[in-house]
């Protein structure tokens, strides 16, 4: 079993390393092509990392990073003693969990459904309809929800005129998690199916034909061919989702924060904004942001380990 | 040559913006160390340098200003545009200098190098390069300029962004001290600037020195007030003047709310009503002890009333959902009948926008009330101006004098020849007189109507609504009826520059959040009290009160 699968080259048989000069000559057009992306990454993702030092200061924009007073871990001490911060952490995790349960399976189901539609015309039509909301801004999406479900919206206007009690879901903190999940599904589920559709297209159709010839029904084919074919992508998306568990969105919560109250709608990103940037307390916001980044890194690392343990590729091959 | 210069400065600007984060430390390293902050100065020393006030008498308003108390007066009103456009500046103010100017603009940026700029440059005798910047992002544009020490020669820094733009740290470091040119009788060299009331100059003063040049100064500065749909009230036979207490307002809520037809009595009103309950704007001195708003019983009484108003169902649901942006649309459309806002909303544009939605539209404002209906009604007055321009510290004294001469031209009174030029452009090109009203041509709409020069300097505010007397009459008579209610709050018109920790506590975000939920009926007053308790201890509230007492009250008094 040394070189049985051609797609996974065995590490032992890799040719001896050539000198970097030879390799550079061989790959120079590839290197050239990736260069702009690397520069962008450096300028916009790595250089700003130096700004993290403000999390350990009493940063004063006028004095600049150089002359701001050093605060050590004071900001973090304040942060960990701040009930609003822990509230934001809790909200983030809760909303993330609810969205994982309610939102994550939707694009997969939609992709499977679309894949089973044979007429290309109907398929394209449905696809366009479910894609469209992705291109709306959150302001517009929430305005539409407010016009439909808000206290003065279409639904409540109807209820009121028929003397049935009103039902204002837009300002109800108890159902907020369901509301935002519904908004996310409406807006993003269509967009989310792209990657699954691509994975579906990659499944060898011979397998379906062979299974059908052997007498496998619709569900058996779904269970034994389609889902195993999607498994790699599903796990990859799950790893990414877990790694981003602390990033549940920003505008969506910023806009609706006043409607349901901060103790329900504040997530880590809005916390950094309101308690950091908006009040000029930059160092405090930076500390909250740094905390979030570190936890996210740990989460993505852990999720990736887990994926490897289950024999999947995860973010990269081992 | 010109092009080359432009390109170079553009490149420099790009470099400073892109390298800001990376080079921040290096840039500051070139400076001279931590900046000194200017704060409040001694009262006596400041009084000694404030400019003399010489009112302008060349143009008589139709409705004269009425004096209230010290520094308080109504804005004069003009029912028509003065026919005789008197000139108040003789000769050409400039001597051919070249200056750059940055102002905020809430609207479409006019084309650069347009005919209006050219005409203005000719009239002013200087090359003034106007660079209007998007007003909505202005507070993020300026800090990049100040961080790289690249302010233009002349810049507008609205006072509501004083702390965000750190004006207290910029004056004397990047912004020029104008005291030698304007203090006392020195200002008489610039008669139109001398006609700007003293309170406005005081707003631009930091630590006993004059820095800012005020625009639209007014002796009737209040945060805002409660408005109502006068046309609807008149049709229902409701007399707004009979509303004398918070209970009266609550009764109106019941009378006017008709949810089935999509009409609610109130929009958000807390922000402009809480002081009617006897709560201070922010500070109060009780028997010599400094007390913060959050520590007063009246504050909680105001919250409780607004909480009950929301719970009773008299507030529009969209307002309760935190949608403030569409407040005017609701008011114009008659979906709400009582709203609140700044006094700047009451003008001709408001009438036109309202009448587009409802032909009967007419705005009215309640008289200032005391919530209990028994105390003397009072409203805290604000600073003397909120639009303030500054000159660059790198300018030579003769350059400063040239710019002040230009400012004198820009501050010419309403209806003068200069005012007409600055606000309407060249007659025949940018405007024509239609029934005695200067009316913008297409070129005027494009080049002049987007206000730029008035943000560098402008005369004291007047009430006017050319072509429609109604608005001017309504607004001036409301001001006249309420001028006695204006009173100076503690620390009135004092520029306080505080350390970051205190500024953060001053913003009191956690209390603001709890407060908003309370007035929207989602939290109880007791929960706000809990938020205040935690603000005082872990939020730095107690330290803020101590700091303000030690550094402001004890050293400089109340400023009242």
Domain locations in chain B as residue ranges: 39-220+384-464, 225-380+498-556
Tell me the C-alpha distance between B472 and B462, whole Å: 10
- Neighbouring residues of B22: CB distance < 8 A, sequence distance ≥ 6: A47, A50
B262 interfaces chain A, CB cutoff of 8 Å: yes
Question: Which of B147, B170, B321 lies nearest to residue A170, judging by beta carbons?
Answer: B321
Is the per-residue pLDDT at B337 higher than 50? yes
Q: Is the dihedral of CA B325, B331, B333, B335 positive or negative?
A: positive
Q: Which domain holds residue A45?
A: 28-72
In a domain, A316, yes or no: no
Q: Where residue B106 falls among pLDDT bands split at 50, 70, 90?
A: confident
B36 pLDDT band, cuts 50/70/90, is: very low
Give the total number of structural domains in chain A. Answer: 2
**CB pairs below 8 Å between A and B: how many?**
120
By C-alpha distance, which of B306, B373, B237, B238 is closest to B522?
Answer: B306
Average pLDDT over residues B126-149: 85
Condensed to tens digits (0 to 9), the pLDDT of residues B122-136 reads 999 999 999 999 887
- A161 contact residues in B (CB cutoff 8 A): 260
Residue A284 lies in a domain: yes
Q: Which of B144, B325, B522 to mutate to test the interface with A (most CBs of A within 10 A)?
A: B522
B549 band by pLDDT with thresholds 50, 70 and 90: very high
Model-level ipTM above the cut of 0.95: no
Q: Same CATH topology for B39-220+384-464 and B225-380+498-556?
A: yes
Please judge whether A62 and B18 are an interchain contact, meaning their C-beta atoms are less than 8 angstroms apart. Answer: no
Element (H, E) at A70: strand A69-70
Please, which pLDDT band fits residue B39 given cuts at 50, 70 and 90?
low
Which tokens belong to B50?
A: 């404030």
Q: Does A175 touch chain B (CB under 8 A)?
A: no
Beta strands in A239-281 (DSSP E): none
A258–B164 CB contact, under 8 Å: no
Mark residue B170 as left, alpha or beta (left: phi above 0; alpha: psi -120 to 50; beta: remaining).
alpha
Compute the distance between CA of residue B16 and CA of residue B10 in angstroms, rounded to an integer: 10
B323: its two tokens: 């949608």
Do A146 and A259 share a domain, yes or no?
yes
Calculate how close chain B gets to A289, using CA atoms only, in Å: 17
Residues within 8 A of B (CB atoms), A 60-119 only: 60-67, 78, 81-84
Residue A261 has its nearest CB partner, among B260, B510, B517, at B517
Cβ distance A257 to B322 less than 8 Å, yes or no, reads yes
Of the listed ranges B292-296, B435-439, B450-454, B498-502, the one predicted with least confidence: B498-502
Q: What share of chain A is helix, strand, coil (3-state, %, to 5)?
A: 75, 0, 25
Could you tell me if B473 lies within 8 Å of chain A, comparing CB atoms?
Answer: no
- Note whether B67 contacts A: Cβ–Cβ < 8 A: no
Beta bridge partners of B156: B389
Q: Compare B307 and A316 and report the one with higher pLDDT.
A: B307
The DSSP H or E segment spanning B308 is helix B297-311
Domain contains A181: yes
Q: What number is the average pLDDT over the span B180-201?
A: 95
Q: What is the mean pLDDT of chain B?
A: 88
Smallest CA–CA separation between B30 and chain A, in Å? 10
Q: Is residue A315 part of a domain?
A: no
Of the residues A19, A44, A72, the one at which a domain ends: A72
d(CA B176, CA B186): 17
SS3 sequence of B351-415: HHHHHHHCCCCCEEECCCCCCCCCCCCCEEECCCCCEEEEEECCCCHHHHHHHHHHHHHHCCCCC
Q: Which of A40, A44, A61, A155 to mutate to test the interface with B (most CBs of B within 10 A)?
A: A61
To the nearest whole Å, the CA of A258 is away from the closest chain B CA by 5
157-176 of B, contacting A, C-beta below 8 A = 163-164, 166, 169-170
Residue B337 — φ and ψ, nearest 5°?
Answer: -115, -15
Helix or strand (DSSP H, E) at B337? strand B336-341
Residues in chain B within 8 Å Cβ distance of A262 = 513-514, 517
Q: Give domain status of residue A12, yes or no.
A: no
pLDDT digits (tens, 9 = 90+) for B314-325: 999 999 988 887
Top-tier CATH class for B39-220+384-464: alpha beta
User: Mean pLDDT lowest for which of A115-119, B38-42, B90-94, B110-114?
Assistant: B38-42
Nearest to B377 by CA among B485, B459, B505: B485
Of B49, B386, B460, nearest to B219 by C-alpha is B460
Selection from B480, B481, B470, B468 nearest residue B231 by Cα? B470
Determine the Cα–Cα distance for residues B433 and A198; give it in Å rounded to an integer.
Answer: 67
A184 and A57 inside one domain: no
Phi/psi at B507 (5° precision): -70, -30
> Are the beta carbons of B34 and A63 separated by less than 8 Å?
yes
A190 and A304 part of one domain: yes
Has residue B377 got a pLDDT over 60?
yes
**A40, A59, A66, best to mutate vs chain B, most B CBs in 10 Å:** A66
The CATH number for A216's domain is: 1.10.3720.10
**What is the chain A residue with the closest CA to B335?**
A152
Contact yes or no for A66 and B259 at CB 8 A: no
SS3 at position B439: strand
**Residue A117, both tokens:** 């539609």
Both A163 and A47 in one domain: the answer is no
| Chain A interface, best mutation among B18, B315, B321, B518, by max A CB count within 10 A | B321
Taking an 8 Å cut-off on Cβ atoms, the answer to whether A82 and B538 are in contact is yes
pLDDT at B233: 96
- Tell me which of A42, A72, A102 is where a domain ends: A72
Q: Are residues A167 and A296 in the same domain?
A: yes
Residue A41 lies in a domain: yes
Q: Indicate yes or no: CB of A66 within 8 angstroms of CB of B164.
A: no
- A150 reaches B (C-beta below 8 A): yes
Q: Do A45 and A148 belong together in one domain? A: no
C-beta atoms of A63 and B517 within 8 A: no
CB A247 within 8 A of CB A300: no
Query: Same domain, yes or no, for A187 and A137?
Result: yes
A contacts of B260 (beta carbons < 8 Å): 160-161
CA distance A52 to chain B (A): 10
Considering only CB atoms, which chain B residues are within 8 Å of A171? 317, 320-321, 520, 522
pLDDT at B431 over 90: yes
In a domain, A7, yes or no: no
CATH topology assigned to domain B225-380+498-556: D-Maltodextrin-Binding Protein; domain 2 (3.40.190)
Confidence at residue A306, expressed as pLDDT on a 0 to 100 scale = 85
Q: Are strands B437-440 and B209-210 parallel, antiparallel or unpaired?
A: unpaired
Helix (H) or strand (E) holding B210: strand B209-210
Whether A126 and A48 map to the same domain: the answer is no
**Any chain A CB within 8 A of the CB of B554?**
no
Nearest CA in chain B to A48: B21
Q: Global pTM?
A: 0.80
User: pLDDT of chain A along its 318 residues, tens only?
Assistant: 344 444 444 544 555 667 888 888 889 999 999 999 999 999 998 998 888 999 998 887 667 788 888 988 989 998 998 888 999 999 999 999 999 999 999 999 999 888 888 788 998 898 889 999 999 999 999 999 999 998 888 999 889 888 888 888 888 888 999 999 999 999 999 888 988 988 888 888 888 889 888 888 888 888 888 888 888 888 888 888 888 888 888 999 988 988 888 889 999 999 998 888 777 788 999 999 999 999 999 988 888 888 888 787 777 776
């Amino acid at each position: 079993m040394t070189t049985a699968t051609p797609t996974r080259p065995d590490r032992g048989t890799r040719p001896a390393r050539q000198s970097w000069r030879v390799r550079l000559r061989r790959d120079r057009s590839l290197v050239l092509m990736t260069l702009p992306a690397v520069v962008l990454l450096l300028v916009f993702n790595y250089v700003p990392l130096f700004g993290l030092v403000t999390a350990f200061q009493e940063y004063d924009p006028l004095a600049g990073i150089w002359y701001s007073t050093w605060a050590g871990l004071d900001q973090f001490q304040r942060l960990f003693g701040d009930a609003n911060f822990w509230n934001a952490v809790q909200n983030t995790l809760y909303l993330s969990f609810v969205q994982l349960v309610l939102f994550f399976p939707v694009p997969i189901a939609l992709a499977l459904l679309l894949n089973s539609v044979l007429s290309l015309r109907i398929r394209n039509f449905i696809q366009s309809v479910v894609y469209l909301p992705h291109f709306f801004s959150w302001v517009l999406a929430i305005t539409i929800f407010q016009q439909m479900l808000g206290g003065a919206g279409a639904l409540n206007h109807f209820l009121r005129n028929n003397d049935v009690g009103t039902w204002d879901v837009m300002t109800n903190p108890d159902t907020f998690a369901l509301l935002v999940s519904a908004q996310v599904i409406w807006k993003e589920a269509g967009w989310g199916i792209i990657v699954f559709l691509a994975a579906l297209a990659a499944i060898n159709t011979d397998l379906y034909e062979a299974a059908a010839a052997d007498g496998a029904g619709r569900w058996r084919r779904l269970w034994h061919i389609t889902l195993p074919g999607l498994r790699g992508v599903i796990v990859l998306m799950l790893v990414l989702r877990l790694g981003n568990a602390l990033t549940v969105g920003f505008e969506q919560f910023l806009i609706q924060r006043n409607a349901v109250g901060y103790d329900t709608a504040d997530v880590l990103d809005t916390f950094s904004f309101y308690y950091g940037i908006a009040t000029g307390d930059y160092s405090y916001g930076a500390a909250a942001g740094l905390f979030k980044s570190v936890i996210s890194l740990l989460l993505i690392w852990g999720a990736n380990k887990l994926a490897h343990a289950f024999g999947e590729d995860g973010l990269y091959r081992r | 040559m010109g092009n080359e210069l432009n390109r170079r400065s553009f490149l420099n600007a790009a470099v400073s913006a892109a390298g800001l984060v990376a080079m921040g430390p290096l840039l500051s390293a070139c400076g001279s160390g931590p900046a000194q902050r200017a704060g409040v100065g001694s009262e006596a020393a400041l009084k000694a340098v404030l400019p003399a006030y010489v009112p302008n008498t060349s143009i008589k308003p139709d409705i004269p200003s009425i004096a209230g108390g010290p520094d308080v007066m109504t804005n004069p009103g003009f029912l028509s545009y003065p026919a005789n456009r008197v000139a108040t500046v003789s000769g050409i103010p400039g001597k051919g200098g070249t200056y750059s100017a940055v102002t905020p603009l809430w609207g479409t940026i006019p084309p650069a190098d347009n005919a209006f700029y050219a005409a203005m440059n000719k009239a002013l005798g200087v090359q003034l390069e106007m660079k209007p910047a998007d007003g909505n992002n202005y507070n993020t544009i300026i800090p990049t300029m100040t961080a790289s020490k690249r302010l233009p020669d002349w810049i507008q820094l609205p006072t509501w962004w004083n702390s965000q733009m750190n004006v207290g740290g910029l004056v004397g470091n990047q912004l020029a001290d104008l005291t030698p040119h304007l203090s006392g009788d020195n200002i008489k060299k610039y008669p139109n600037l001398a006609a700007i009331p003293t309170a406005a100059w005081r707003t631009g003063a930091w630590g006993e020195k004059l820095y800012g040049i005020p625009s639209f100064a007014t002796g009737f500065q209040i945060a805002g007030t409660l408005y109502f749909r006068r046309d609807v009230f008149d049709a229902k036979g409701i007399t707004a003047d009979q509303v004398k207490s918070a209970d009266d307002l609550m009764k109106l809520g019941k009378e006017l709310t008709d949810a089935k037809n999509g009409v609610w009595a109130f929009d958000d009103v807390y922000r402009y009503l809480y002081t009617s309950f006897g709560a201070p704007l922010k500070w109060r001195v009780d028997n010599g002890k400094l007390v913060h708003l959050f520590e007063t019983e009246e504050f909680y009484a105001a919250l409780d009333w607004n909480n009950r108003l929301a719970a009773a169902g008299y507030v529009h649901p969209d307002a309760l959902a935190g949608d403030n942006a569409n407040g005017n649309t609701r008011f114009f459309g008659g979906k709400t009948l009582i709203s609140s806002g700044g006094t700047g909303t009451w003008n001709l544009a408001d009438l036109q926008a309202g009448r587009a939605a409802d032909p009967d539209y007419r705005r009215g404002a309640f008289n200032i009330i005391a919530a209990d209906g028994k105390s003397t009604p009072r409203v805290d007055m604000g600073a003397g101006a909120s639009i303030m321009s500054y000159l660059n510290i790198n300018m030579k004294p003769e350059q400063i004098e040239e710019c002040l001469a230009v400012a004198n031209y820009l501050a010419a009174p309403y209806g003068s020849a200069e005012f007409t030029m600055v606000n309407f452009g060249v007659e025949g090109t940018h405007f024509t007189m239609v029934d005695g009203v200067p009316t913008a041509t297409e070129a005027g709409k494009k080049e002049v109507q987007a206000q730029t020069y008035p943000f560098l300097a402008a005369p004291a505010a007047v009430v006017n609504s050319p072509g429609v007397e109604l608005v001017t009459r309504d607004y001036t008579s409301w001001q006249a009826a309420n001028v006695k209610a204006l009173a100076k709050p503690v620390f009135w018109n004092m520029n306080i520059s505080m350390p970051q920790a205190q500024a953060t506590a001053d913003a009191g975000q956690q209390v603001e959040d709890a407060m908003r939920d309370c007035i929207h009926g989602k939290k109880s007053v007791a929960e706000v009290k809990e938020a205040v308790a935690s603000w005082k201890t872990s939020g730095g509230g107690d330290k803020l009160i101590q700091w303000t007492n030690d550094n402001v009250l004890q050293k400089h008094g109340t400023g009242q």
